[in-house]
Amino acid sequence: MPAIGFHTDAFNSSNWNFEQCVKWAKEHDLQFIECGTIDGVAYIQALGFYPHVSLTDDPALIRKMMDRYGVRFSQLDAAFPLNRTDGLTLGVQYICNSIRWAKLTGCPCVDTTDSGVKPEGQTDKEGMDILKMAYREILKTAEAHEIKINLEPHGYFTTKIEFVSELLEEFKSPCFGINMDTGNTFIAGRDPVDYVEAFKDRINHVHVKDVSQALADALRGNITGIAMSQSAVGDGVNADNIQKCVHILLDNGYDGVFSLECEGGLLEKSVEWMRGVIQ
């Protein structure tokens, strides 16, 4: 059955820690949560003011804590701009470490992406070649651990259907699919519904973001992604697209998680709207 969850990015500005987010999920009858990963330590996370996890945290203890609340991971967010050359030297290892950690926590998916802007002088072919080299290495680890690697539309390449089609054709592994993002495709000037129609059979996870009228007027077509919705999901200009995308996926048998991405103060209203759409 499809389910609703949320990304802990919602509470970045609240300076919550990860367990506070898990507790919020339980209090609002949500069984799934998604968060980012840090491959190392950072003072703000160590002091308890950051709602994501460090890969230095003991995954068994994190899993036990989440079990106490009846909450599970839907996905770990290990986004790194993989079309850059440091995607090969830093990004691949970061993502592979996240895959190993995900396995130990029972998390089924790891999210990945590219850069919003190509490095100066990089051609489309060069960028795609780097992406293919990166994913070829990442998939070795993903397949060994049976973790799904999801490609999120968030950058220059991933928001374009032609480039994503090429990557999906290159990697037909059941461990390689898409984390659909309704907000990023829209703000990039694309049609989220077209994107879902094109890739509905390879979508494993969904980020649900709305877009305010003001933001759409100012930036649509000029950027490739936004961190989260500044309006409650359902209150923005992308609401109709979100409903259409959800219905296409449900009609296609989608049984994954719809992970909401909006400010924490807007999350409760967004959850209720999303429940209505699914029902």
Q: What is the pLDDT of the chain when averaged over all its residues?
A: 97
pLDDT band at 214 (very low <50, low <70, confident <90, very high): very high
**130-158 as b/e: b if 16+ CB within 10 A:** bbbebbebbbebbeebebbbbbbbbbbbb
At residue 190, φ and ψ (nearest 5 deg) are -95, 175
For tokens 């980020």, the residue is: 207
Higher pLDDT pick, 229 / 78: 78
CA atoms within 13 A on the CB side of 166: 13
What's the 3-state SS for 28-76? CCCCEEEEEEECCCCHHHHCCCCCCEECCCCHHHHHHHHHHHCCEEEEE
Q: What is the pLDDT of residues 2-17, one digit of tens each?
A: 999 999 999 999 999 9
pLDDT attached to residue 31: 98
Q: Are strands 3-7 and 53-54 parallel, antiparallel or unpaired?
A: unpaired
3-state secondary structure at position 157: coil
Mean pLDDT of all residues in 182-196: 98
pLDDT attached to residue 255: 96
Q: What is the pLDDT of residues 105-142, one digit of tens each?
A: 999 999 999 999 999 999 999 999 999 999 999 999 99
Tokens standing for 145?
A: 């651990």
Dist. CA 271–CA 267, nearest whole Å:
6
Q: What is the pLDDT of residues 21-52, one digit of tens each?
A: 999 999 999 999 999 999 999 999 999 999 99
Detail the DSSP E strand segments found in the chain: 3-7, 32-38, 53-54, 72-81, 109-113, 148-151, 176-181, 203-208, 257-260
Are the C-beta atoms of residues 65 and 33 closer than 8 Å to each other? no
pLDDT attached to residue 90: 98
Domain boundaries of the chain, sorted by first residue:
3-264
pLDDT band at 1 (very low <50, low <70, confident <90, very high): confident
Q: Which fold has domain 3-264?
A: TIM Barrel (3.20.20)
Q: What is the pLDDT of residues 46-96, one digit of tens each?
A: 999 999 999 999 999 999 999 999 999 999 999 999 999 999 999 999 999
For tokens 């936004």, the residue is: 226
